[in-house]
Amino acid sequence: RTRTCPISTRTRVSHSTSRLKMDAQTTLKIAGIASAGYSAQMGGAPSFANKLYFKEGHPENKNMSRWFGHALATCGAAQILASKDAQPSAARKGILLASAFQYLTAPVMMVTQRKDFKPEMIALNTVTCGVVGALCLKAALKE
């Protein structure tokens, strides 16, 4: 028996295999939600984000954190808006490729700044961003 998943009307979950079939729309929704989550942390709660991600004693810069949150909000908006496009297009493929770049390079940025970041946050975000980035790249290559 197959049911429609609430994430997308095109996503199907088979009860016999319990496998989620990913498509570009679902992938963009996941990327957009992840970007919105990072945006909320950085833009809406910069002190919290500083304590969460950085080692003790790292200087807090609320202005830069809010600008970063703002930038991530625009990424998330583009990802969510592109997820509405049901048909493959050059624009949707471009958003998928940009999203793959966004998520696959984030861990690299953290590793290059490892003296500032908490090691557990580097590990967690490497996995999280790596998965989202790989999904975006896979979806883009199918377009």
Q: Report the predicted TM-score, pTM, of the whole model to 2 decimal places.
A: 0.82
Q: Which of 69, 72, 44, 64 is nearest to 132 (CA)?
A: 72
DSSP 7-48: T-TT-EEETTT--BPP-HHHHHHHHHHHHHHHHIIIII-HHH
DSSP state at residue 59: P
pLDDT in tens, 106-142: 999 999 999 999 999 999 999 999 999 999 999 999 9
**Does residue 42 contact residue 65 with C-beta atoms inside 8 Å?**
yes
Q: Determine the Cα–Cα distance for residues 99 and 121; give it in Å rounded to an integer.
A: 20
pLDDT over 70 (residue 2): no
pLDDT in tens, 49-104: 999 999 999 999 999 999 999 999 999 999 999 999 989 999 999 999 999 999 99
pLDDT the model gives residue 18 = 54
Query: How would residue 21 be classed by pLDDT, with cut points 50, 70 and 90?
Result: confident
Helix (H, G, I), strand (E, B) or coil at 62: helix
Q: The tokens of 122 are what? A: 């580097």
Query: How would residue 22 be classed by pLDDT, with cut points 50, 70 and 90?
Result: confident
